[in-house]
Chain A
Amino acid sequence: MWRGAIAEDENVALRCLIVDDSPHFLEAARTLLELQGVEVVGLVSTGDDAERHAEELAPDVTLVDVDLGGESGFDVARRLADGQERPRSEVILTSAYDERDFADLIEASPALGFVAKAELSRRAIDDLLSGLPDTS
């Protein structure tokens, strides 16, 4: 599936902020997404930093890990959604856990959707943004 996503939409700039407490993941995700044409505007690991960067950098999409060590990614997603004055900056939840483990919480959250970390790609983000059903 992901191989098909590589070449798509590279001409459309997509600005992305990543919130995760694992430095390995932050680096790997940036490398992959940038290769796929996403402009990664920031890498942060706490809710406070996420709020500040979201305000300053106004990314098109913010990827938030549901489990930020001491913090709940669901809370951070809610804070980002509540603090947003401009429309069209979406929150997407990510996790190394399975989506089914958190289905209720994901549904209840203001986030646009969920992408499993292992399935992360420009294509998966675009699908969520364009309202397509999650195919992961």
Chain B
Amino acid sequence: MRYVAGVALLAGVYYGAGRLSLALQYTGPVAAIWLPSGIGAATLYFFGLRWFPGVLIGDLALADTSQPLGTVLGTTTGNMVEIVVMAVLLRRLLGPGGRIDRLPQIGLMLAAIIAGSTISATFATLASRAGDVIAGSDVPEFWRSWFLADATGSLVVIPLIFAWSRGPSRVWRGKGAVEGALMVGSVVGLSALALSGDLLLTYIVLPALIWGVLRFGMQGGTLAVAAATVMTVAITAADMGPFVMHSITEATLGTQLYIGVAALTTLCLAAIEAERRRVGTEVQRLADEQAALRRVATIVARQPTPSELFAAVGEEVGRVLRADLTNVMRYDAGDAATVVAGWSRRGNHVPVGTELTLEGDSVSALVLHSGAAARMDTYFDAPGGLASQLRDLGVRSAVGAPILAEDRLWGVVIAATTRARILPPDSETRITEFTELVATAIANAHSRQELMASRARVVTAGDEARRRIERNLHDGAQQRLVSLGLQLRATATTVPPDMHEVADGLSDTATGINDVLEELREISRGLHPAILSTAGLARALAALARRSAVPVELEVTIAERLPEPVEVAAYFVASEALANVAKHARATRVRLSASERDGIVELGVSDDGVGGADPQGSGIVGLRDRVEAMGGRLHVTSPPGQGTTLLARLPAAGLSR
């Protein structure tokens, strides 16, 4: 039923176009511009050869019944072969989709049209001569007129249908509609003006055609050409204008060549314009991508924390792909992943730190299992918790690319759209290219983070061990020695007065024990100062200052307790620095300062000594290692003769993971 209706519709349209062509016929057997062939060919091109009966019925309905039956059948056969050949050639040469926005495609389309028109003109000429409809002397002109009518008509109709086959483009919306009407109006107006006198002024229509192309692309160009065609043929048919000559065939030829040339020029211009726009878009895209990469590179150069870098990558991928939402995820053991960065145009994304199980369908699961870029264009009925979470965020279409670090699948970058928009087909390629470029930075940031954490763990474990040893010494050996000393003294008091040598020996031994105790205390202090864990950094620094051989000017503004590793690091930096001052600086005074602001502890030690400390010396290198292990920085300035200043900055917010 649908097929019958379709065939009937096609026959109707074909017949109507034929009648229109014949209505605009000047006189004589051949129309100046023959539109049905192009319509038939375009229809069969898009919908397939099975609609062929519609074309046949329409063509038979248009047949000139005054002509001999053989002529009619021959002509119709020619038309049918023409249309089928054009449709098949267009399909072969251009593929499906009706795209003619490149110059080679214009050339191929022209070839198909010429082939079809040649067949039709030859059949018609032979049939007409055989039926004696035309005289032998008319054969060349008849063939030429027929050929040009079909070729020109198709050159107007086929691009028009192709260009509009995907519906009106966005340029026609709003103000575009007004401008479009003005453009078509000026084609009509200029055509009318050009054809109103006897002078050959048709070139004045060209600016309006160019307007159509430059502002509305292929759709504007084909529409403008169609308008110009209708005007030209209509006015000439009304016996007006420069194409009205003493011979109808000459008038026909003039019209056909004008239309043909105008159509072909416009098409070429439109193809070039489309190419220019594509290049412009591509250049813009590359520029955007370069800018995004540059921003990432700038951040990388600043040695960001991994989370800073991940956030930047997420945002830049979102911008480059014009996505609404992005996620950077790290794959964990098993089918699990952790969100390490999220970005969204509207600010609602899966929160950083979220741990997901990659069950069900999601781009992250697809990338994990394939190791390659993946896409999902709907989460509507995708199973799994992640899919439902993404649905809640309104995710419609998503692409993801693997982050490969040293040939290992480290994680995935995902860009998604919300609302109804689907990410364009080249999105996988683009996200993959971009991710490949930033993958090294991501991997490096991650390794650096791991290294930092392990360094901090090593140092903290060392500090912890020292603290434990100190405690054990204090609670064990020291207490025992103290007690033994007291016992000796107690025993000494019980010795009878006449055995004072024994009493003296006992007391000498007790004194010896006290000396050992003093040595143990010194060792303990070096291991871990008890006051640091008892009373915190400020008190510990004060105790340090009291013991210093060089007078210390103390300026400590830290009142509260800090994380233990930070206190220990700051204390040992101060202790080591003061020891260096005493050993090398020949200073008369040293200033020890400690303060905390915005989560950064600043420890300063500056003396008025001889300066000239070697920044590569083992003392300073050791201090730097200790400070940097905690994620801090150490600055040393020591100009000869101007004292030494050492400044350590330690993050007090604790250790990064």
Contacts and interface: CB of A to CB of B under 8 A. Distances in A.
Interface string B457-496: 0000000000000000011001110111111011011100
A35 interface: yes
A25 B534 contact: no
B521 interface: yes
Contacts of A72: 534
Nearest to B525: A101
B421 interface: no
B487 A28 contact: yes
Interface stretch (A51-59, A78-86, A92-100): A92-100
B579 interface: no
B655 interface: no
A27 interface: yes
B547 A117 contact: no
A114 B54 CA distance: 116
A24 B539 contact: no
Interface of A: 2-3, 6, 21-22, 24-25, 27-29, 31-32, 35-36, 66-67, 69, 72, 74, 96-98, 100-105, 117-118, 120-121
Contacts of B490: 28, 31-32, 35
Contacts of B486: 25, 28-29, 31-32, 117-118, 120
A25 B539 contact: no
A52 B513 CA distance: 35
Contacts of A22: 475, 479, 483
Contact of A24 (B479, B493, B517, B542): B479
Pick from B474, B480, B530 the residue with the most CB of A within 10 Å: B530
Nearest to B477: A96
Contact of A32 (B479, B489, B507): B489
B529 interface: yes
B588 interface: no
Contacts of A66: 534
Q: In terms of DSSP, what is the predominant structure of the interface of chain B?
A: helix
Contacts of A31: 486-487, 490
Nearest to B524: A97
Contacts of B507: 2-3
Contacts of B345: none
Interface in B523-573: 525, 529-531, 534-535, 539, 542-543, 546-547
Given A101-B543, A103-B546, A25 B529 contact: no
Interface string B610-621: 000000000000
12 contacts: A27-B483, A28-B483, A28-B490, A35-B490, A67-B530, A74-B534, A96-B478, A97-B521, A97-B530, A101-B525, A104-B535, A104-B539
Given A24-B482, A101-B530, A104-B542, 13 more contacts: A3-B492, A21-B475, A24-B479, A28-B487, A31-B487, A32-B487, A67-B530, A100-B546, A103-B543, A104-B535, A105-B539, A118-B514, A121-B489
Pick from A21, A67, A118 the residue with the most CB of B within 10 Å: A118
Chain B, interface size: which category?
20 to 34
B592 to A, nearest CB: 15
B493 A67 contact: no
A118 B543 contact: no
The 8 closest A-B pairs by CB, nearest first: A28-B483, A24-B483, A28-B486, A32-B490, A22-B479, A117-B482, A96-B478, A31-B490
A35 B490 CA distance: 7
Nearest to A96: B478
A109 B289 CA distance: 66
Contacts of A6: 493
Contacts of B534: 66-67, 72, 74, 102, 105
Nearest to B516: A118
A69 B525 CA distance: 18
Pick from B483, B487, B494 the residue with the most CB of A within 10 Å: B483
Nearest to B474: A96
B489 A2 contact: yes
A10 B546 CA distance: 38
A7 to B, nearest CB: 9
Given A102-B531, A104-B542, A36 B474 contact: no
Contacts of B482: 24-25, 28, 96, 117-118
Nearest to A97: B530
Given A25-B483, A35-B490, A98 B521 contact: yes
B478 to A, nearest CB: 5
B484 A28 contact: yes
A66 B474 CA distance: 12
A25 B478 CA distance: 10
B506 to A, nearest CB: 10
A71 to B, nearest CB: 11
Contacts of A29: 483, 486
A31 B483 CA distance: 10
B474 A104 contact: no
A25 B479 contact: yes
A127 B560 CA distance: 36
A24 B485 CA distance: 11
Nearest to B546: A100
Contacts of A96: 474, 478-479, 482, 517, 521
Contacts of A102: 531, 534-535, 543
A131 B534 CA distance: 28
A118 B516 CA distance: 11
A70 B539 CA distance: 19
B373 to A, nearest CB: 58
A9 to B, nearest CB: 14
A74 B475 CA distance: 18
Given A31-B487, A97-B530, A101-B529, A118 B535 contact: no
Nearest to B507: A3
A21 B483 CA distance: 13
A18 B492 CA distance: 22
Nearest to B531: A101
A118 B517 contact: yes
Contacts of A3: 492, 507
Contacts of B484: 28
Nearest to A103: B546
B292 to A, nearest CB: 56
Nearest to B530: A97
A97 B471 CA distance: 12
A121 B489 CA distance: 9
